[in-house]
Amino acid sequence: MKCDLTQHNSDNIRSDQERDTYHDEGFFLQPPDETTHLGASSSSNWKIYANIQKSTTLSGRYDLQYWFFYPYNDSSSVAGVDLNHEGDWEHITVTLDSAATFQNAYYAAHDNEGLRYTSSQSSFADSTGVIATNAQKLTGGFTHPVVYSAIGTHASYPTVGTHSRTGLPDDTTSAGTAWNTMNSVVNVGEISYPLNGQTFIKYGGLWGEIGQTTESTGPDGPAFHGAWTTY
């Protein structure tokens, strides 16, 4: 991606600088039509974007972040406020020790409702997508954390069920369509050094059009999200 300069209100606006959501300067992505909201129909085009860094929570550990992009967030309205928005970046952060042993995983949900889970609270699968029993967790090939994406909101959870939210509609997850990500993980590197041709990581604008509120506006990309260096 080329980060061009654009003239706007006599200021130079760069696409590799973070947009201020609350103001009218900067870039945002506008899909050509609503069919884009449906996403890619072929699972061969579905990718997971990974980033590796030293852990921010445990000394001597490493955080593996896995980012998922959904083209449309279909949330419920709350008190007449529309929470739907184009573009939706979600993630989990898996913390490993120096021997690459699982320590815990942070499952992101909404702005700051995510939680960190131990292995006993998490679900795991092998490379074919078979879910581990409690006795099989972190043994053999059952070392891959399972993410259940909430219907509509895409908030990430380690289990199936109804997940309560204070003052807001509950999230619901189910064992629906499975996405085996084993062969679709791409290491994006860092803003200063993108890897594997993933220069989109340098884009600082929003991933969706501007809505009536910040809640209905497209989000920042992974590297401009607070979780990039926090969870």
pTM metric for this prediction: 0.85
pLDDT, position 62: 94
Collect the ranges in the chain with pLDDT lower than 70. 1-25, 37, 39, 73-85, 211, 213-216, 230-231
pLDDT, position 45: 80
pLDDT, position 185: 94
Residue 44, burial from CB neighbour count under 10 angstroms (0-12, 13-18, 19+): exposed
In the chain, the amino acid numbered 130 is V
What tens digit of pLDDT does each residue of 214-228 get? 666 778 889 988 888
Task: Sheet with 48-54: list strands edge to edge.
Answer: 115-117, 102-107, 85-96, 62-73, 48-54, 185-187
pLDDT, position 82: 65
pLDDT, position 31: 77
Dist CA 4 CA 71 (whole Å): 24
pLDDT, position 29: 79
